[in-house]
């Protein structure tokens, strides 16, 4: 039976750990120039209705390195955005391709695509969540700390798609997640959770980051955000990751950001480029983890 990746909870804790073993192995193979072509002859369709650098390129290069090919399909070039139904499109694409990666606005579109496609569907970010990002981030944490359980992450800033996936991922993998955001940004309910991780909300970022192993942030304005964005930025101004906040953890902590970053807004350049920042290792690991996801779902 085909397996989709629409949310982190589509994997069990053991499934994630296996994925990380594969990711480490794929990373080593790549470093040593060892060819590994389990997806030879396979094709991934990649539908993008939003911009992307890391997600598009890591999946496209990942398919190529695993022996397959990726087709970059912007929604506007497909008949899909001219009125062909998602159901018809899903059935047709399933006859040609071996998997579909989709980045779009409405999460329901991804659910519907997965329901009507007979091939695996991978969520490359929606307004609701960003599972492939957080899987790669937890892999990076495992690499840096040698463990996942009981690592404390302080997420500071906007409660958005990345935060949603952090909540599901931290809970599944037994991590401790403190979220610092303006009180009005706190969601009415949390996503469905499995696992025994802890999630706590704070208004005061200085309290949230105490004892954190990782300080994490994302942009204040996400793709497709609407409303009074100037007001949103003002409310988020006290939630910037800067040296003062980093010092407030009271221990040596590492800094992560899913990127793209808006320097001087959610994070200062001093911290992003500083010695505790692991953002570019984090970005690189998108490739290794995305390859493990592709091999798991498509081979």
Binding site for ligand CP (CB under 6 A): 52-55, 125, 133, 258-260
Nearer to ligand NVA, 40 or 51 (CB): 51
Active site residue 133: yes
List 4, 158, 213, 218, catalytic entry: 218
If one asks whether residue 161 binds ligand NVA (CB under 6 A), the answer comes out as yes
Nearer to ligand CP, 136 or 175 (CB): 136
240 is catalytic: no
Length of the chain: 299
Note whether 265 binds ligand NVA by CB under 6 A.
no
* Active-site choice (137, 213, 258, 288): 258
Number of Cβ atoms within 10 Å of the Cβ of 246? 21
- Spatial distance between the Cα atoms of 2 and 78, rounded to a whole number of angstroms: 24
Residues 6+ apart with CB under 8 A from 275: none
For residue 228, give Cα distances in angstroms to 221, 222, 231, 233.
11, 13, 5, 9
Cα–Cα distance, 291 to 112 (Å, whole number): 24
Considering the candidates 133, 240, 282, 290, report the single residue annotated as catalytic: 133
Residue 61 in 3-state DSSP? Answer: helix
* Among the residue ranges 156-164, 178-186, 240-248, 290-298, the one whose residues contact ligand NVA (CB under 6 A): 156-164
As to burial, measured by CB atoms within 10 angstroms (0-12 exposed, 13-18 middle, 19+ buried), residue 223 is: middle
Q: Kindly write out the interface string for residues 124-153 of this chain, putting x where it contacts ligand NVA by CB under 6 A and - elsewhere.
A: -x----------------------------
- Whether residue 221 contacts residue 233, with contact meaning beta carbons closer than 8 Å, is answered with yes
Q: Which is nearer to ligand CP, 128 or 258 (CB)?
A: 258
Helix axes 279-298, 131-145, angle to 10 degrees: 120
C-beta of 162 vs 245, nearer to ligand NVA: 162
Given 4, 54, 103, 290, which residue is catalytic? 103
Would you name the residues annotated as active-site residues? 103, 130, 133, 218, 258, 286
Which residues contact ligand NVA by CB under 6 A? 125, 160-162, 218-219, 222-223, 258
């Amino acid at each position: 039976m085909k397996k989709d990746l629409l949310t982190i909870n589509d994997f069990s804790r053991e499934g994630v750990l296996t994925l990380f073993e594969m990711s480490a192995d794929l990373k080593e193979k790549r470093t040593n120039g060892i060819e590994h072509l389990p997806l030879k002859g396979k094709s991934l369709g990649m539908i993008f209705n939003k911009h992307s650098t890391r997600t598009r390129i890591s999946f496209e290069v990942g398919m190529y390195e695993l022996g397959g090919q990726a087709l970059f399909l912007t929604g506007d070039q497909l008949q899909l955005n001219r009125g062909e139904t998602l159901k018809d499109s899903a059935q047709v694409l399933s006859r040609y391709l071996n998997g579909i990666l989709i980045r779009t606005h409405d999460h329901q579109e991804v659910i519907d695509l997965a329901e009507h496609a007979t091939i695996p569907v991978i969520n490359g970010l929606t307004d609701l969540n960003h599972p492939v990002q957080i899987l790669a981030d937890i892999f990076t944490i495992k690499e840096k700390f040698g463990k996942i359980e009981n690592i404390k992450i302080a997420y500071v800033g906007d409660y958005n798609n990345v935060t949603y996936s952090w909540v599901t991922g931290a809970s599944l993998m037994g991590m401790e997640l403190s979220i610092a955001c303006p009180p009005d940004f706190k969601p009415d309910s949390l996503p469905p959770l499995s696992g025994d991780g802890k999630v706590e909300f704070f208004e005061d970022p200085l309290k949230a980051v105490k004892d954190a192993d990782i300080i994490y942030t994302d942009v204040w304005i996400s793709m497709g955000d609407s409303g009074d964005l100037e007001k949103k930025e003002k409310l988020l101004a006290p939630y910037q990751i800067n040296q003062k906040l980093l010092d407030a953890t009271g221990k040596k902590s590492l800094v992560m950001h899913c990127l793209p970053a808006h320097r001087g807004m959610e994070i200062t350049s001093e911290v992003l480029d500083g010695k505790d920042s692991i953002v570019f290792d984090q970005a690189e690991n998108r490739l290794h983890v995305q390859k493990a996801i592709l091999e798991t779902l498509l081979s």
